[in-house]
Amino acid sequence: MQGRPINRASATLIAAIGALAAPQASAQSLTTYGTPGLIEMPTAEVMQDGDLAFTASVFGPNFRYTGAFQVLPRVYGGFRYSQIKNINGATGYLGGDTFDRSFDMHYQIFDETSRRPAVAIGLRDFLGTGILSGEYFVATKSFGSKLEVTGGLGWGRLAGRNSFSNPLGAISDRFKTRPTGFTGRGGQIETGNWFRGPTSPFAGVKWKFSNQTTLFAEYSPDLYVRESVNTGINVSSPLNFGIEYRFKNGPKLKGYLIGGHEIGAQLSYVINPKRPRISGGLETSPRVVGNRDRLAIADWNNSAKGGGKAAVQRVVAARLSEDGMKLQGFTMSGNKATVRVENNRWINESQAAGRAARVMATTLPPEIEQFTVVFHERGVPISRVVTQRSDLEELQFDYDGAWRTLARTDIADAYDQGRVGELDDVYPVIETSFGPYLATSFFDPNSPIRADFGAQLKAAYRPAPGLTFSGRFRYPLIGNIDKSFRGSNSVLEPVRTNAVKYAKESNLEINTLSAEYIFRPGKDLFGRVSFGYLESMFGGISAELLWYPIASRLALGVELNYVKQRDFDMLLGFQDYGVTSGHASAYYDFGNGFTTQIDVGRYLAGDYGATLGIDREFNNGFKVGGFFTLTNVSFADFGEGSFDKGLRFEVPVSWLTGRPSRKTIKQTIKPITRDGGARLAVTNRLYGFVTDYRGAELRDGWGRYLR
C-alpha cells in the first residue's frame, strides 16, 4: 500500500524525537529558511527549549515565511511557506509563481564543550514538494564570546558547487546517486532521497560586533539551478555576507548579499511560551489564612452578618465571586464543608482550588476542619479536591508549601456530587454575547491568506446541569474568502473542499444551532450527546463516551456520529449526502508537558484510518502541537498534499496580558485542506472538556496551589 512507507518513517521520527533531550546553548540568529544558522547555511545550534521563532525573508524571487519550534532541548522543527516567483516560467499560478509548503527537522547530536564543537544533523523540506529539500551534517565551535565558526557537508540543494562523490557510498552504492525531480503532489516523506547523491562542503563565520550587531560570512554550495533558469536570479559567487541588528524589544532585522548580486532583508522574532509577555502576573494576592478562633469572633458570631448557614453561604458566594468562581452548591455538616464551583478565571486549576480553599478558611466557623472543593463545568461535576484546614494554616507561608500540601491532599472523582447542595438561583443559565468575528483561510495559491470579518451573535440557554441549547449566528461584512477561484477537484465526496462554495452562497449564516447534554454515567465515566447543526458544513447527531480515571494519565473514548451535509447557504436545509462516522480514541499524558492522541475510525468522506496528534503544553496553558492522518485513500486520490496534516496553537489571553483569564486564542494551520481524513468539528469533545480538572493535570500544576 502506498501509505505504508510514510507510516513507518513517521513512526520512526516520532520515536526518535521523543527519546532525545539534553541541555544546550541557544542559537543567536536565524537563516532565510527561518531556522538557526548564518545567512542560508545551518549551524549546529538550537534555540532555547520551547522557543517559537517567526521569520519573514526576501531576496531576488524568493519570499519565505517560517515558524520554528524547539520541540525538545535538542530537537527543533520548522514549517515554511515560500513563494518563488516565475520558477516554472508562465505555467504556474499568478504568471508562473510557485507557492510551496515545507517542513524541516534538526537534531543536535552533541552540544559544545571547551574542547568539542556542537554537532548536528538536519533535514530541510523533508515533507513537501522537494523544491527546497536538502540534508546536512554540521559542526559549530565558538572562540571566545564574539567569534563562531561553522563547517558542514550538504546533500540535495546543499550540494552544488565543488561537489564530490558521496562518502556514504562506502556504506552502500545507492548513496552515490540521488533520484531527480520532486513529488508533484507534495506532502510525502521522501526517505529514499535522504543523504543521497553528490556531497558539497559549506562553511561560515559569525562575529558578534556588539550586543546589538552581528556580522556574517558564509560559503554556500547552493546554485539555485531551477531559479536561475526561469527567474533571472544571479548567484555567481559562492560567498554570502550579512549584518543583523537586534532591537531592544526583541525583533531582529538582517540585511544580506547572496551570490554576489542578490540583496535581501529578513525580520525575525522569537518568543518563549514559558515566559509570559508580562512577568509575574497581575492577579490579586491570595487571602491570608488567619487564626480560626479570631475568625469565629470577627465573622461567624458577628450578629451584623446574620449568623447561620445562610449567612455564611452568602459570604462564601461573594468571596468566591471576587476570586472569579461561581458558587453552585454548598453543604456544611459536623467538621466538613463542601463548595461546588465553576472556575471562570484561573487557567491553572490548582490555583483555583487553592483560592477556593482559602475562601473557605477565611469564612467558615472554626470547627470546620475538612474542605472539599468540587469543580464543575457547565454544571457537570468533574473532580474534587479535599484539603485539611490545619494544613493550610501550617503551610501557607512555607517555602515548599504547595508541594507539601499535595502530599496531604486527596484528589478524587466527583461523579456522585450531582446536584448536592445546589443553590436555588443557579439555573436556568442564560449567556449571550455580540461582537466581531474573524474567519481565516490559508494557502490559496492565488491569495495565501484570506479572511472574512463580520458580526457574530452567540447565545446559550442551560435549564439544568449539562443540558445546553446554543447557537452561533454570523453576518460577514468584509472579506475575500468568497473571492477565491478554487473549487473542489476531489475524486472523494467534497466534505471540505467545497468551503469556497459555502462562503460564496451564504450571507446571514447559522454557524451552529444545537442541543448538547453532558453527563456522568458512572465513576470515571463521562458522556455527551449533541444534536442539531453541529458545525458550518454538517448537522446531525453525535454521541461520545469517555473513560478517564481520576489519577490516570491514560483516557479512552469512543464517538459515533450520523450527519448530513448542510446546504451551501448555511441556513436550515440539508443536501443529500449523509454519512456515519466515528472513532475510538486513546489519550495519554506523558507528565512532561507532552500529550498524545490517537483516533482510529471512519471519516466524513467515508474513508477509514487513524489520526495521531502530539501536543506540548506549558504550565501557563500555552500549547503547541501537530497531527497527521493516514487513511485508506491513496495519495493520488487524496490529491495535493498526499495526506491530511497540520499544526495547532493555543495561546492563553493571560500569557499576553498578565491578567488571569481562562480565555484562549486557538488556531489550526493546515498546509492543504482536502477531503480525506476530514473529521466532524463538533464542540466540547469530552477529553478537552474534562482533562484540566483530572488528577494528573491538577498535580502537574500544583506549584501554584498557594499563589
92 has pLDDT over 70: no
Q: Are 244 and 29 in contact (CB under 8 A)?
A: yes
- Tens of pLDDT, residues 464-502: 999 999 999 999 999 998 888 777 888 999 999 999 999
The three three-digit cell numbers of residue 277, written as one number: 509577555
Model confidence at 130, pLDDT cuts 50, 70, 90, reads confident
Model confidence at 309, pLDDT cuts 50, 70, 90, reads confident
Q: What was the pLDDT predicted at 90?
A: 47
| Percentage above 70 pLDDT, the chain | 91
pTM: 0.89
Q: What was the pLDDT predicted at 186?
A: 60
435 φ/ψ angles, rounded to the nearest 5 degrees:
-175, -170
- Tens of pLDDT, residues 399-453: 898 899 999 999 999 999 888 899 999 999 999 999 999 998 888 767 778 899 9
Q: What value does the mean pLDDT take over residues 623-629?
A: 95
Q: Are 614 and 594 in contact (CB under 8 A)?
A: yes
- Tens of pLDDT, residues 182-198: 555 566 677 778 999 99
Cα separation, 457 vs 84, in Å, equals 41
Residue with the bigger pLDDT between 273 and 228: it is 273
What residues are paired with 625 via a beta bridge? Answer: 615, 648
129 has pLDDT over 80: no
4 has pLDDT over 80: no
Range among 12-21, 600-609, 653-662 with highest mean pLDDT value? 600-609
What residues are paired with 149 via a beta bridge? Answer: 141, 205
Question: How many CA within 13 A on the CB side of residue 420?
Answer: 19
Give CA separation, 119 vs 24, 25, 49, 74, 122, in Å. Answer: 11, 12, 17, 11, 10
Q: What was the pLDDT predicted at 27?
A: 53
Cite the DSSP H helix spans in 152-251. 225-231
Cα separation, 548 vs 385, in Å, equals 17
**Which residues, in sequence order, are CB contacts of 60 under 8 Å at separation 6+?**
227, 231, 233, 234, 258, 262, 264
| Percentage above 90 pLDDT, the chain | 70
342 has pLDDT over 50: yes
- Tens of pLDDT, residues 194-223: 999 999 999 999 999 999 999 999 999 999
- Tens of pLDDT, residues 506-531: 999 999 999 999 999 999 999 999 99
The candidate with the shortest Cα–Cα distance to 102, out of 193, 34, 153, 39, is 34
Q: Are 665 and 346 in contact (CB under 8 A)?
A: no
Q: Are 273 and 50 in contact (CB under 8 A)?
A: yes
567 has pLDDT over 70: yes
What residues are paired with 432 via a beta bridge? Answer: 459
The candidate with the shortest Cα–Cα distance to 131, out of 83, 163, 175, 200, is 83
Model confidence at 547, pLDDT cuts 50, 70, 90, reads very high
- Tens of pLDDT, residues 420-434: 899 999 999 999 999
* Secondary structure element (H or E) that encloses residue 96, with its range: helix 93-96
- Tens of pLDDT, residues 234-268: 899 999 999 999 998 889 999 999 999 999 999 99
Question: How many CA within 13 A on the CB side of residue 285?
Answer: 5
Cα separation, 202 vs 239, in Å, equals 10
Q: What value does the mean pLDDT take over residues 146-164?
A: 95
- Tens of pLDDT, residues 41-82: 999 999 999 999 999 999 988 999 999 999 999 999 999 999
